[in-house]
Amino acid sequence: MTDDSSRAAHLQLAQPEDDHDVAAWEAAAAGVLRKSRRLTDDDPDSLVWQKLGRPTLDGITVTPLGTPADLEGLTTSGRPTRAGAWDIRAYLSDPDAKVANEAALVDLDGGVTSLWLQADADTDLGTVLAGVLLDLAPVVLDAPTAPLQAARALLAHLASTDVEPHPGTNLGVDPIGAVHRGLRNEEGWQDDLVAVARLAQEIGVLGVVVDATAAHDLGASDAQELGYAVAVGAAYLRVLTDAGLSVTEAARLIEFRLAATDEQFPTIAKLRAARRLWARVLELSGTDPESAQAAMRLHAVTSRPMLSKYDPYVNMLRGTVAAFAAGAGGADAVTVLPFDSANGRPEAFGRRIARNVNHLLIDESHVAAVADPAGGAYAVERLTDDLAVAGWAELGEIETSGFDTFRGRVAAVVERREAEIARRKRPITGVSEFPDLAEALPERAPDAANDRVRRYGASFEELRDAPPGERVFLATLGPVAQHTARATFASNLLAAGGVGVDVAGATSGPDDLVSAYGAQRVVCLAGSDSAYETWGAAAAAALREAGAQHVIIAGKPVEYADDSVAMGVDALDFLHRTREKLA
């Protein structure tokens, strides 16, 4: 074999027999779903699209397979432009200036490249930033209650150190975001915006942040977060141009902040769609969106609502997926919130893991080696377009009717999300799924940031916070092999509501159950369908005779049980009913 033919053989990775059409994929996927009983033998193979497609809260389906047909009639634009590694940005919020300074220096020494600093009128920026090389490490202020005072304090510190700040430094004014977080009233926000923007212009740094996590933290969907971000950005452009700046000058001062969640593909698409939407706003404003001065600067921060207080170590996985999506989506800066953020103010270990997630993605996984790694993927391009269209529609709603109706639309999304979480269609590992009642939570100092966010698992966490004094007797029918599936399901679901169980173990009849019974008021039968048919009624009767007051069956409802629990049940409703019986 010649060198050329050998090279050609190696390059031909797919053989003709490996070339399949969509119908072949449908048949293969349908075969798997039939084995898991998600499809019947009578269902058409084409039903796999519905079964495997995942609808978002915006009504957009994340397709299980991208095809060229997804891009018919689409024109993609606004692709990420970041070249190389993203800016690793650490979040500092400790009110003790010396503690915050220690954390900042440790983070910077550990490879962080910029600081996102929570501040107020009393923050001692000189102490917080002592030893920080401000010409190398940008500082992004977040002072919603005192944006002008904090900006002046940073400028005073810069003057005292005779250092020219890094051009990525941002004085961070975001008055509309502060209003939505309930941290300021609506009066006078335009004055603060203009004043801080002028200070930023004078020293050649950024001055404005459009923090769309203010909407995300309220419970907004991806499209609503996009619409909010662009609406706020457009509002800031209007105010700044009315104050005498050109559109390009105003756009150059702005940085956007969006949330990255553990829903990988929607996050990638959301960040790509954001660039497309902002480019369209600039184009309509008469500015070249491709110019370096006006290009969108995008900071992604891992979602605070997606974090869990219980089993917080799972947050490491959530943060890693979210950070990957942020990097792949083209974020210029990425903040990974420490895994223990939901428990209070993070400590050193959590901060180290958070910054190392970025290093692993950049230096070992090489996610940053390609500017737009998801570009050209049919499913991602389709999702990007769908989100851009939905985000633009949300912008239109806000422009027409203001932010008051926006909150109403967000509330509707929150209600839908809560319903899906209650039925565990949106499972939360360690909270609504696979909880550990014996875990010891890390103790952390209170963090006011958590008071402004309702975590997605809050309804379950509230039950875990106040566990009932009594346990449920898990009346397992038959040998372990026969009852383990339903027993595991029932015990996990009860644990999600803070309810512990006492398990009977292997049994052969009602007498065994009564022997293991410990006078619990609530019992839950768990066994196979055949066991229920054979001696389920007798088991329930025997346990009632022994003192049980409320009988649950794991499975379909039956006449001899007071309640039932199965897949698809409203878990929160069931847990509240059960806890009432235990009270």
Do residues 294 and 255 make contact, with C-beta atoms less than 8 angstroms apart?
Answer: no
Q: What is the pLDDT of residue 1?
A: 47
Q: How many CA atoms lie within 13 A of 55 on its CB side?
A: 9
- pLDDT bracket for residue 72 (50, 70, 90): confident
Do residues 174 and 208 make contact, with C-beta atoms less than 8 angstroms apart?
Answer: yes
Distance between CA atoms of residues 52 and 44, nearest Å: 14
Percent of the chain scored above 70 by pLDDT?
96
From residue 16, give the alpha-carbon distance in Å to each of 8, 21, 41.
15, 12, 30
What CATH architecture does domain 466-582 belong to?
Answer: 3-Layer(aba) Sandwich (3.40)
The mean pLDDT of 178-207, rounded to a whole number, is 95
pLDDT in tens, 93-150: 999 999 999 999 999 999 999 999 999 999 999 999 999 999 999 999 999 999 999 9
Same topology, domains 87-344+351-396 and 466-582? Answer is no
The CATH topology of domain 87-344+351-396 is TIM Barrel (3.20.20)
Distance between CA atoms of residues 583 and 578, nearest Å: 9
- pLDDT bracket for residue 20 (50, 70, 90): confident
Residue type, 537: A
Do residues 320 and 355 make contact, with C-beta atoms less than 8 angstroms apart?
Answer: no
Greatest extent of the chain over all pairs of C-alpha atoms, in Å: 86
pLDDT in tens, 289-340: 777 667 899 999 999 999 999 999 999 999 999 999 999 999 999 999 999 9
The pair phi, psi for residue 117, each rounded to 5°, is -110, 115
Do residues 305 and 411 make contact, with C-beta atoms less than 8 angstroms apart?
Answer: no
Q: What is the pLDDT of residue 9?
A: 52
Tell me what the pLDDT averaged over the chain comes to. Answer: 94
Distance between CA atoms of residues 431 and 154, nearest Å: 41
pLDDT in tens, 443-457: 999 998 998 899 999
Distance between CA atoms of residues 315 and 298, nearest Å: 23
Do residues 137 and 108 make contact, with C-beta atoms less than 8 angstroms apart?
Answer: yes
Distance between CA atoms of residues 100 and 89, nearest Å: 15
Q: Report the SS3 class of residue 295.
A: coil
Distance between CA atoms of residues 193 and 173, nearest Å: 6
Locate the domains of the chain by residue range. Answer: 23-48, 87-344+351-396, 466-582
Q: What is the pLDDT of residue 555?
A: 95
Q: What is the pLDDT of residue 111?
A: 96
